[in-house]
Structure 1
Amino acid sequence: MLIAQLTDFHVTVPGARVGGSVDTRANFDALVAYVGAMRPRPDLLLVSGDLAEAGVEAEYAHVRAGLDNLGIPYLAVPGNHDMRAPMRAALGPRTGSEAGHLGLAADLPGLRVVGLDTLVEGAGHGAIGDAQLGWLQDILGAGDGRPVLLVLHHPPFVTGIPAFDAIGLREGRSALEALLRGRSDIAGLLCGHVHRALVGTFAGHRVFVAPSASHQFALDLETPGSFRVVREPPQIALHRLVDGRLVSCLVPAAAAGG
């Protein structure tokens, strides 16, 4: 199974620009065209948050139309720019349906995808509350031994990038670590949020942070609050399970205007 991880679209309403300059709506349209032309085609798209910039209905309608047009199954978890109600209304079964969060679980041939909702609506940082942790414990407990990919927006570890650590996963990290440590069925964790590729470990498991499929931020290891857009290509991550192990690579995707 070939899985394409797409993250951090930040799709805006028509005419708006992220940071006053980035046309994320056009970038998303270019991304859809790129994914549609991929050969081999991905079997599944995993969207790891920040589908929308303001979290309003019109943004999600555009995202849904583009992803639906690809004809590839997709699943999505929310990021810190998303809002649960309009995201759920637009995406339906492609995101979670729990009463208080958008956690999701999907059983696929040889693989289980579990999406964890880390959204704190109106804030940049993430949190995993008791309800999500209890839900995740039940979901993992009901597994049948097949490998599990856990998808969440906020990386669960300290990245060393001050701007993003300030809006990292503030609550529930220790409880999540205790829940995952020692499990043999976790193939890996997939995250977004940082607009840059990162690889790390958490609870003894591999974590892959994919860069944005729209625009990247400069790697600033010193300056708090630095979110400077740089001219680097949008990228998507491709994942496969090979001999039971997760193998990942990055692929540049065309932006609007090249």
Structure 2
Amino acid sequence: MTTLRVLHLSDTHLYGDDSRHYGVVDTADHLARVLDRFADEPFELVVCSGDLSEDGTVASYERLLSLVEPWARERGARTLYAMGNHDQRAGFREVLGAGQSGEDLRVLAADPGADPAASPIASTITVAGWRTIVLDTSVPGAGYGEFGAAQAAFLAEALAVPAEHGTVVVMHHPPVAAQTELLQALALDDDSAARLWDAISGTDVRAVLAGHYHHALVETVDGIPVVVTPGVTNLAEAFGPRDEESARDWAGATVVELNESRVRILPVSEPVTGGEVFTLTAEQVQQIIAAAGRP
């Protein structure tokens, strides 16, 4: 039985310089710590499911590559990257291309007349019988996510013929509800989530890997687990007052093991200092929703 072992990372929020996230977190150090935590573990695939950069600069994506790629190569693992709401497509595309690479890579074509650098970054490839599909739920300038008709058609076409061992879908905004008012306002809209489930239900998709919420969450829909990994940069409070938002100085990741009969999910989140990164009052949350939420 063939097993795919995945290290699932998300929300690294790297900078092109030495800036700190919320003036507190050294995001490059957090990523290095997480990778070191799994230094003795074997993996076939390293997934980075969005919000890879905080400032969208080429330098931030180059920093990501300098940390992840050597680590993955030492283990013979391939890498996969997806866009998040903090990422910028021009910088992402310049450094990370379509998010994955290989001989039979297929990429979502740009809309006719659109700037290719601004078009969604989606791709599919099959390696060793496992198909991986990168989707782009980002909306330029916004915090919430969308999954449009063009990507749905691309996804459905990719899934029309089953892969030997199955398919893993990677996206930033989870197609399941959030725990807090802020994250729900910045979530994938209901129509987009329904469009995704229409495309993947009854197919060979074994799991959907996502980020964005900065805490671990697993929800099964139509027999397919959605795995939301804890943030590399911080750990969001899932059970505080729903109208507030807070995070602490922790770093996390998830180990996902898949074969033809099972999916095993092992989330890990550990304190760096354990201190407060930020706390947002209900009023501050509403201000962010007004600025970055869905119109």
TM-score, normalising length: structure 1: 0.88
Asked if the contact 1:148/1:187 (under 8 Å) is kept, the reply is yes
Distance 1:29 1:254 in 2: 14
Q: 1:125 Cα deviation (Å)?
A: 0.3
Q: Does 1:236 align with 2:253?
A: yes
Counterpart in 1 of 2:213?
A: 194
Partner of 2:59: 58
> Which of these two proteins has the greater Rg computed from alpha carbons?
2
2:155 aligned to 136, 148, 152, which one? 136
**SS of the residue 1:179 aligns to:** helix
Distance change (3 Å), C-alpha of 1:256 and 1:65: farther
RMSD: 2.2
Give 2:174's aligned amino acid: P
Q: Which amino acid is 2:92 matched to?
A: M
> Within 5 Å, which residues of 2 pair with 1:38-187?
38-70=39-71, 71=73, 72-92=77-97, 94-95=99-100, 97-98=107-108, 99=110, 100-144=119-163, 146-170=165-189, 171-183=191-203, 185-187=204-206
Percent pairwise identity: 27
Gaps of 5+ in 1: none
Residue 154 of structure 1 and its aligned partner are, at CA, apart by: 0.6
Which SS does the other structure have where 1:206 is aligned?
Answer: strand
Q: Could you list the runs of 5+ residues in structure 2 that have no partner in the other structure?
A: 102-106, 111-118, 275-295
Q: Give me the whole-angstrom Cα distance separating, in 1, the residues matched to 2:121 and 2:221.
A: 22
Report deviation, 1:62.
Answer: 0.4
Cα pair distance change 1:256/1:30, threshold 3 Å: farther
Distance in 1 (alpha carbons) for counterparts of 2:132 and 2:273:
31
CA displacement 1:197-237 (0-9 Å, x = unmatched): 0111234421111101221112245333x332214x31111
| 1:26 corresponding residue in structure 2 | 29
TM-fit CA distance, 1:25: 2.3
Normalised by the length of structure 2, the TM-score is: 0.78
Q: Where does residue 249 of structure 1 map in the other structure?
A: 266
Deviation at 1:126, TM superposition (A): 0.3
Cα deviation for residue 94 of structure 1 reads 3.8
- How far apart are the structure 2 equivalents of 1:241 and 1:6? 16
Distance in 1 separating the partners of 2:208 and 2:27: 26
